């Protein structure tokens, strides 16, 4: 049963996954989005005008504001984060502050509110490190060496998971952590290989691969993760758990991904290679049996279908040229 009649606080709700999820919840629930618009998939959309949605521009580092917004909430979905390798490398201190202290603030405010039926904490598949083949939730996490900038994100998110789990264990806060594996689809702004390749393919500009393109990823269409989240919000079995959410069938190399997008978009763009200036994840494929079993969830959208829908969305959205310059 989808949620109804609930008061849902979504941090980072103006982002890609947040706006897609909010569209599924907004008719039947009251939604408050807290976002500082570091990224923005919300402004100018129908969702932003919806009478059941209130947007508050603010920061998860503001504990007083979080306390105020959590006061009457029944559900908290914590998505606000600095994500994407480029943004993380831009400022590791900001990444740690937002992802770690921000998560602490969200948990503390939710705990104090005492009205929370479910809190969903967004972690990441990066917690599995450079080689992750059919990884299960119980497998050992790996963060590389201290000082390797890229792992700042994974460490901050893993600490958030530990925090969320501790609030569940010690205070009974009904928290759940989710580890998304490479989510893509309509509405994604500012980051991710599929966003980059698609906007540049449509604009006829070079598709830039960092490294030799042999990195392997499993791609999860955004509607599939949203289905999993709807179940996590509703089902008691999810409480206190962590879930891998991804699509183990949609696995390709980064070069194959660029070539597919080029073909599906009917583009003449050239694929070029540039050196990598950070440690990369060589392989990342989830095992999602736990979500299958506990949530009765299954990823349904296969890669070419998802890519075609995504390309269609970007094609309708003009001007692609200005997006391509930032991608
Ligand atoms: N998209 C993926 O493939 C993927 C993979 C793994 C994990 N995740 C996690 O899922 C969550 C949602 O991802 P997304 O793809 O929608 O990312 P996104 O960047 O589109 O959304 C994140 C939102 O957080 C907001 N934000 C950033 N700093 C903030 C702050 N200090 N205060 C308030 N808001 C702030 C941004 O403005 C943005 O709207 C994030 O926590 C991300 O780390 C995403």
* Ligand 1 contacts CB of residue 12 (under 6 A): yes
pLDDT at 320: 54
pLDDT of residue 189: 84
Ligand 1 close to Cβ of residue 224 (< 6 A): no
What is the pLDDT at residue 191?
A: 75
Q: Which domain holds residue 49?
A: 7-326
Q: Would residue 90 count as lying in a domain?
A: yes
User: Is 15 in contact with 39 (CB distance < 8 Å)?
Assistant: yes
Q: What average pLDDT does the chain have? A: 95
Contact of 23 with 48, CB cutoff 8 Å: no
Q: Is residue 160 in some structural domain?
A: yes
Closest-CA residue, ligand 1 atom 41, reads 79
Token couple for 220: 């999860």
Ligand 1 in reach of 167 Cβ (< 6 A): no
Please answer whether residues 83 and 37 qualify as being in contact, where contact means their C-beta atoms are separated by less than 8 angstroms: no
Q: Give pLDDT, residue 326.
A: 56
In this prediction the pTM is: 0.97
Does 80 reside within a domain?
yes
Instruction: Kindly state if the Cβ of 183 falls inside 6 Å of ligand 1.
Output: yes
Report how far ligand 1's centroid is from the alpha carbon of 117 (Å). 22
CATH of the domain at 71: 3.40.50.720
Split the chain (327 residues) into runs of 10 and give each run's mean pLDDT: 93 98 98 96 96 98 98 97 92 97 98 98 97 97 89 97 98 98 92 92 96 97 98 97 98 98 98 92 97 98 98 82 56
Within a domain: 231: yes
**Residue to mutate (ligand 1; options 78, 79, 158, 218; most atoms within 8 A of CB):** 79
Would residue 118 count as lying in a domain?
yes
Q: What is the pLDDT of residue 123?
A: 98
How many Å apart are CA 244 and CA 284, to the nearest integer? 12
Mutate which of 83, 132, 191 for ligand 1 pocket (most atoms within 8 A of beta carbon): 83
How many domains does the chain fold into?
Answer: 1
Do the domain assignments include residue 1?
no
- 2 lies in some domain: no
Q: Taking the chain, what is the end-to-end CA distance rounded to the nearest angstrom? A: 38
Determine the Cα–Cα distance for residues 109 and 113; give it in Å rounded to an integer.
6
The reply to whether ligand 1 has any atom less than 6 angstroms from the CB of 245 is no
């Amino acid at each position: 049963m989808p949620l109804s009649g609930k008061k849902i606080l979504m941090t980072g709700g103006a982002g890609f996954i947040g706006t897609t999820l909010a569209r599924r919840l907004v008719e039947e629930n009251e939604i408050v989005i807290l976002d500082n618009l570091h990224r923005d998939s919300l402004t100018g959309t129908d969702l932003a005008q919806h009478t059941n949605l209130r947007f508050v521009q603010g920061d998860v580092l503001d504990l007083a504001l979080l306390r105020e917004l959590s006061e009457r909430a029944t559900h908290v979905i914590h998505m606000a984060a600095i994500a994407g390798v480029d943004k993380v490398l831009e400022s590791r201190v900001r990444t740690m502050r937002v992802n770690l202290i921000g998560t602490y603030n969200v948990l503390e405010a939710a705990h104090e509110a005492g009205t929370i039926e479910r809190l969903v904490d967004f972690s990441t598949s990066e917690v599995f490190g450079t080689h992750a083949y059919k990884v299960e939730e119980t497998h050992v996490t790996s963060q590389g060496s201290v000082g390797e900038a890229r792992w700042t994100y994974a460490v901050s998110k893993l600490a958030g998971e530990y925090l969320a789990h501790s609030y569940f264990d010690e205070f009974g806060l009904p928290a759940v952590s989710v580890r998304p594996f490479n989510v893509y689809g309509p509405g994604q702004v500012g980051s991710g290989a599929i966003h980059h390749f698609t906007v540049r393919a449509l604009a006829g500009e070079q598709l830039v691969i960092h490294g030799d393109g042999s990195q392997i990823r499993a791609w999860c269409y955004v509607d599939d993760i949203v289905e999993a989240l709807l179940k996590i919000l509703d089902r008691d079995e999810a409480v206190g758990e962590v879930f891998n959410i991804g699509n183990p069938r949609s696995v390709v190399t980064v070069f194959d991904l660029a070539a597919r997008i080029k073909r599906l978009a009917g583009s003449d763009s050239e694929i070029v290679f540039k050196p990598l200036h950070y440690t990369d994840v060589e392989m990342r494929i989830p095992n999602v049996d736990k979500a299958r079993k506990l949530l009765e969830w299954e990823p349904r959208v296969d890669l070419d279908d998802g890519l075609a829908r995504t390309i269609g969305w970007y094609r309708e959205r003009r001007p692609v040229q200005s997006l391509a310059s930032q991608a």
